[in-house]
Structure 1
Amino acid sequence: MVDAERLKKNWSLVAAHGDQVPLYFYSVLFLTHPETRDMFPMNMAAQRDKLVTALGAVVSNVDTIEHVVPALQDLGRDHRKFGALRGHYPAVGEALVATLEHFSGPHWTPAIAADWTAAYGLVAATMADAADEAAHYTPAWWDAEVVAHDRRDLETAVITVAPGRRFDYLPGQSFSMCTDLRPRVWRQYTPANAPRADGTLELHVRAVDGGEVSTALVSLLRPGDALRLGPATGSGLTLQQGHGPIAMIAGGTGVAPMKALIEQLAAAPRPTSLYWGARTPAGHYCLDEMRALAAAYEWLEFTPCADEDLFGAGVRIGSPAELAVADRRCVGAAVYLCGPPGMVEASGKHLVASGVRAEAIHFEPFGE
């Protein structure tokens, strides 16, 4: 029987060492199993803490593992794009346990070692089983071609991508993407359209500070360039069953999944309000398209808003969450929330403080 509380305390002790933990982990992994090095980007700065932090957080919460099984299965299927095989999981587990032992110091015991080994084994088996099953019916990745690249401003581009074979996803789901401009570096993006007959995907990409992939996609990508796509994952932003009203709160390129959901809702409309925020009106890079959607669908109300409007563009001033609450659009509604991490966190807190039930708020944060 795994002692979950003991694992959590031990992980807290180890995590207090900060960046030293992932540095040690990858050193052990690459020295003991050099064949794994090619699965990771040459520049490890952005990747460094992701794997070990995720492993530690998930494995140490093994007592509630049933709640994250779908996410672990998604991870297992997704990791096939790296070339990860069942045989690689023990190598990661060995490096993880060695790292935990190193940073636990005198607090490390055979009982803790046995707990970590058992807990990691459960996580690894869940991921590997899902990956093996997926291998029977879906590719590990999809090769795709850029068919259009529309740069809207210095920071933002709308990119149309054509996968070389059928790519299944639900509106609101995201997938990881890799470009030869930044080899082996993957980032999550969410299509801004519901599935189309021609299979093309519309992606909204904003270059973020230090974002090597997003910067390359906005500034360097051209029609005809090749991309690689991982499988679609996530359910936080997918449309939930129901007939009640919907409130959508978006910031920046977080409007992309909202646009996809609106296209899906066109088949079975529900009263829907979309509040789209930006720092200034200039950040509304697809304003005409969103206004056209609102004009076409009588069940859709669209409110662009900004932190400031120095030149009288006619948008409302305020955060999208604050305005949606003030307009009472969140009362009894399913609320969908997407945008920069800070905006998502602040909006969620404001919604809950305003009386919106936490279970009515749907979101799925991801990186650049």
Structure 2
Amino acid sequence: MRIGFDGKRAFHNATGLGNYSRDLLKILATHFSDDEYYVYNTKPKKIDRLSSFNNIIEKLPVVAFWKKFSSIWRQGPILSQLKKDQIQLYHGLSGEIPRGIKKSGIPSVVTIHDLIFVRYPELYSFFDRKIHFNKFKYASEKADKVIAISEQTKNDIITFLGIEASKIEVIYQGCHAVFKEEVSIQDKSEVKKKFNLPENFILNVGTIEERKNLLSIVKSIKELKTHLVVIGRKTTYYQTVLKYIDDNRLSNRVHFLEGVDLKELATIYQMAYVFVYPSIFEGFGIPIIEALYSKTPVITSKGGVFPEAGGPDTCYVDPSNTEEFSKAIENLLNNKQKRTEMADRGFTFVQKFNDDVIANNIMQLYRSILNERN
């Protein structure tokens, strides 16, 4: 089978949608190595993490005009190139498919990660909301099937986009293989020295933005004897968090790390006593999965998608209740046996997100679409 993919995120986004795209491609290329995966990129790649796979082929615009206007090319004119490459099925990995693909005769799938811009419109500009909504609505209506990365996202697609439930398949994400490897004591020692990490710390990973709710964690550790390590891209919300840290003399206990590569991140996950993720809303919550694979106990938010990602043995709290968060952190820090039990049970639960499960679910969906067309 020859499958085409939107490669914009895979080659240009270091986190989030980029990780989803790369991980899915790697999983398919490994477990179904006889198939060919054509990944359509708009311009020379910034991130090269797929070149080791012979069956993953990067494709750029071949016409000079579309090389110059590549952002328009991927929205529709790409179809002529898909036909020349004899693509049998196209997968939009981040909520988009080319305009006119239904009429072209090429079957398509689109992955919708979340509809946060609908649930929390105040976090987005008016124009961004309109653009996202139109793209997602079009893709969901015209694609043969829609992949939702969680039941939460599936319900939102039904509610906000008006798509029939029968058209939507829930296929969970996994995470990078590096988070599944046990880190040596020597590696931990080197990472600890490089980033000057404290002996006892809790960890938060994710973009430092209002929705991720980092300020609640900072407030919750004010009276606790622990350190907080934060890894994530900074936005303007960072200044709000920093002001609270400075006003409450917490700068010696809150550590913002930069320049952390994947291997180092996996090592830090395994060194943390507890992983805390008080996000208000997510489409799924990959950092939770990364922590569970790292055998690190997790505290996260009640409701929404979080129980899907965290399972029955994660600790769930009201993300707006700082006191509840503080008690949950303190209880785990003071109870090593509880931390171990949560880590072991969480590791058992997270096996449902293993690569072979995801690969088989994705390929089964592709084949079912092609069988229906034939």
TM class, shorter-length: under 0.3
So what's the TM-score if we normalise by structure 2? Answer: 0.27
The structure with the largest helix share of the pair is: 2
The TM-score, its normalising length taken from structure 1, stands at: 0.27
